[in-house]
């Protein structure tokens, strides 16, 4: 049974079904999920039927496409509704996306705080300030117990003005989280710490149910960002346990760190930072008046979930970037077909390929915070003249120094930054091709950018039906060719991009490298074989021993706390890290491994429960620190003057004290 054949189930439905099982049935739940996955599935309208056995059927009723109530899951076995089958089906099905936040009607007694809470939850997000920085002493960065968390009994938000005191008496204290929000954050922290303790192998349906219940509670308390992170963790856990080929451990590391970090910040955040920590369920489109747009390029989009389509990038007269997309179930075949379909925007008859080289005049435009153009009935669009990459206003995109572009892209792709929906991960560069270079993972194209910075260019997708890989191989046979390119930043310790579009090698027109296929006749020397550039010396960032900490952070996720507890002495690793100028990383590794191995006993020699909170705090600090240093190394690698690069005394200041 493919989980995608089942309708999505609301998180609270899955949590309620699992919580209703007896302890004996909970032990059998993971086995029941595996067994149910092998049974036939039939779908008829809103009802999906699973044949539990030859005589028993289980039904999931999904009006509107989502199983939203416990009563919508029914089983025909003799033990129903207290059977394990209903909970197993809910655990096997995909988790439904978060519903909109409920509109609460506060009582007169609670009108003040509740109203303020609702207003903030539905208001616009804001850029948050950074929390406390990490110091060089690992023991000072995180507490050794659960004292880092705020309990639900913490003091409520500061009171309003005293009776008889006018608003002019002074500014109101900054808004803080409510006790209910702190309690919800505590539940999220506890559920995330339990997953980290057990690892992927031990985080079965019961642990996932605890996360789903905590996510549902967080949504009701207007904490959609943390709730969304919890759902991401559940989705990735299920993919890992099902041996999904698209699963990546690094993604689960990021999701867990986002969950724990956001839950931890709820208790201490105030004002605009609190608004960012809370997040928003929806990022609505907003009116943007009239826009004059110029096409840049079109890229195919193929996802691991089987969706396919295209995304066309356009720029406004002021340099802002926008996208017009068409992605739906269909895979790579749909991506290739949609490229030649008309754009869904106003009355224009342009296809996506044509829009990438033409222009649009749009009135009544609506734009999402991440730059997507809306296609509502009020939007009017007509075809207009485009602009070459060397003409204004597009030429200005290539005039920004690469280091500034990389810094902007890093802010957009940062794993743990407070999302504000602004910025882009695209870079616009003028380069000279040097040839192919061999890497452990394959071959990439080496180019020389502004200031003599070597840039590695890789294929955006290895799908054979797309043109990325073949075009990259042909460009490797044209060393010395100068191109104007557009690429997507890959955070790494050396300048690295996925190549999306480039000017034609003959200098006429542009190439969408995922859709248009170059020919040898297009090269300056058509008969030239692929040229391999000489080996490049490793940069300072590539020599960094940070990977010693990163691999221990990742090692914890699949196997849990026990994986680090059995490491023993890590003195050799910490010594090497200190020699590389990262004393904070060395202290974190020592503290993390010591916390993993620490197990105290009572007076009778029996093991006491492990300090899951303390271990999770050390792991979170290590994950956030290593991410911040990696981003600092990436930013420094794009700086041709060497400013911010490694020096003998240690890493850049931005890397030495990242926010946790």
pLDDT at 349: 86
Residue 121 near residue 226, CB atoms below 8 Å: no
CB atoms within 10 A of CB 340: 12
CA distance 160 to 573: 53
CB atoms within 10 A of CB 169: 10
pLDDT at 438: 86
CA distance 259 to 579: 33
CA distance 267 to 108: 26
Number of helices followed by number of strands (H, E) in the chain: 21, 15
CB atoms within 10 A of CB 504: 14
Residues of the chain under the 70 pLDDT cut: 1-4, 98-171, 282-283, 305, 419-423, 527-528, 530, 534-542, 641-660
Q: Quick one: tokens of 169?
A: 């008496």
Which residue bears the tokens 């955040």?
A: 269
Residue 393 near residue 317, CB atoms below 8 Å: yes
Q: Quick one: tokens of 406?
A: 């990389």
Residue 39 near residue 48, CB atoms below 8 Å: no
| Among the listed residues 214, 207, 190, the one whose alpha carbon sits nearest the alpha carbon of residue 27 | 207
Residues 57-95: tens digit of each pLDDT = 999 999 988 999 999 999 999 888 889 999 999 999 999
pLDDT at 391: 95
- Work out the burial of residue 151: count CB atoms within 10 Å of its CB; fewer than 13 is exposed, 13-18 middle, 19 or more buried: exposed
Kindly list the strands in the beta sheet with 286-302, ordered across the sheet, starting from the edge strand earlier in the chain.
321-329, 307-316, 286-302, 359-367, 380-384
CB atoms within 10 A of CB 347: 10
pLDDT at 600: 78
Q: Quick one: tokens of 633?
A: 């190394």
Q: Quick one: tokens of 56?
A: 């028993």
**561 three-state secondary structure:** helix
CA distance 343 to 231: 33
């Amino acid at each position: 049974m493919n989980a995608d054949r089942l309708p999505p189930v609301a998180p609270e439905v899955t949590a309620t079904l699992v919580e209703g099982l007896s302890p004996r049935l909970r032990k059998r739940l993971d086995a029941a999920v595996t067994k149910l996955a092998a049974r036939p599935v039939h779908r008829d309208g809103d009802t999906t039927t699973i044949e539990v056995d030859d005589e028993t059927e289980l039904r999931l009723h999904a009006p509107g496409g989502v199983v939203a109530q416990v009563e919508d899951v029914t089983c025909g076995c003799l033990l129903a509704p207290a059977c394990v089958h209903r909970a197993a089906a809910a655990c096997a099905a995909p988790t439904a996306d978060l519903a909109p936040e409920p509109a609460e009607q506060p009582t007169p007694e609670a009108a003040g705080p509740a109203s303020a809470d609702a207003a903030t939850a539905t208001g616009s997000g804001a850029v948050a300030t950074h929390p406390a920085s990490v110091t060089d002493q690992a023991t000072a960065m995180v507490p050794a117990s659960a004292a880092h968390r705020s309990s639900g009994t913490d003091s409520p938000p500061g009171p309003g003005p005293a009776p008889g005191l006018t608003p002019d008496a002074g500014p109101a204290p900054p808004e803080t989280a409510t006790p209910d929000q702190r309690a919800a954050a505590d539940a999220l922290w506890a559920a995330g710490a339990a997953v980290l303790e057990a690892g992927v192998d031990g985080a079965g349906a019961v642990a996932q149910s605890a996360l789903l219940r905590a996510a549902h509670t967080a949504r009701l308390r207007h904490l959609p960002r943390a709730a969304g992170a919890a759902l991401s963790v559940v989705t990735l856990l299920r993919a890992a346990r099902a041996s999904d080929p698209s699963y990546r451990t690094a993604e689960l590391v990021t999701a867990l760190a986002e969950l724990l970090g956001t839950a931890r910040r709820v208790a201490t955040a105030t004002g605009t930072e609190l608004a960012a920590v809370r997040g928003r369920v929806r990022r609505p489109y907003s009116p943007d008046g009239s826009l004059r747009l110029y096409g840049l390029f079109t890229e195919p989009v193929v996802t691991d979930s089987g969706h396919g389509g295209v995304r066309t990038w356009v720029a406004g007269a002021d340099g802002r970037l926008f996208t017009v997309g068409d992605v739906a179930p269909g895979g790579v075949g749909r991506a290739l077909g949609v490229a030649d379909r008309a754009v869904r925007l106003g009355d224009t008859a342009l296809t996506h390929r044509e829009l990438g080289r033409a222009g649009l005049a749009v009135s009544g435009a609506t734009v999402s915070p991440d730059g997507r153009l809306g296609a509502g009935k009020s939007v009017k669009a007509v075809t207009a003249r485009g602009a070459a990459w060397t003409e204004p206003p597009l030429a200005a995109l290539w005039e920004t120094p690469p280091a500034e572009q990389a810094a902007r892209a890093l802010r957009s792709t940062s794993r743990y930054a407070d999302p504000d929906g602004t910025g882009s991960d695209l870079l616009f560069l003028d380069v000279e091709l040097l040839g192919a270079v061999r890497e452990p993972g394959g071959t990439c194209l080496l180019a020389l950018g502004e200031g003599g910075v070597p840039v590695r260019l890789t294929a955006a997708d290895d799908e054979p039906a797309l043109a990325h890989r073949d075009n990259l191989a042909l460009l490797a046979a044209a060393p010395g060719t100068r191109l104007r390119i557009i690429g997507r930043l890959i955070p790494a310790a050396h300048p690295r991009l996925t190549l999306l579009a480039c000017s034609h090698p003959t200098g006429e027109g542009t190439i969408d490298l995922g859709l248009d296929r170059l020919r040898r006749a297009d090269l300056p020397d058509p008969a030239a074989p692929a040229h391999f550039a000489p080996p490049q010396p490793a940069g300072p960032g590539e020599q960094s021993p940070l990977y010693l900490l990163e691999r221990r952070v990742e090692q914890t996720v699949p196997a849990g706390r026990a994986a680090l507890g059995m490491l023993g002495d890590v003195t050799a690793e910490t010594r090497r890290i200190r020699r590389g100028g990262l004393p904070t990383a060395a202290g974190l590794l020592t503290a993390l491994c010591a916390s993993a191995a620490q197990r105290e006993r009572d007076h009778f020699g029996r093991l006491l429960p492990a300090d899951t909170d303390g271990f999770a705090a050390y792991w979170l600090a290590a994950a956030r620190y290593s991410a911040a240093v990696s981003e600092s190394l990436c930013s420094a690698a794009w700086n041709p003057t060497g400013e911010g690069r490694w020096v003998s005394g240690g890493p850049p200041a931005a890397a030495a004290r990242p926010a946790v």
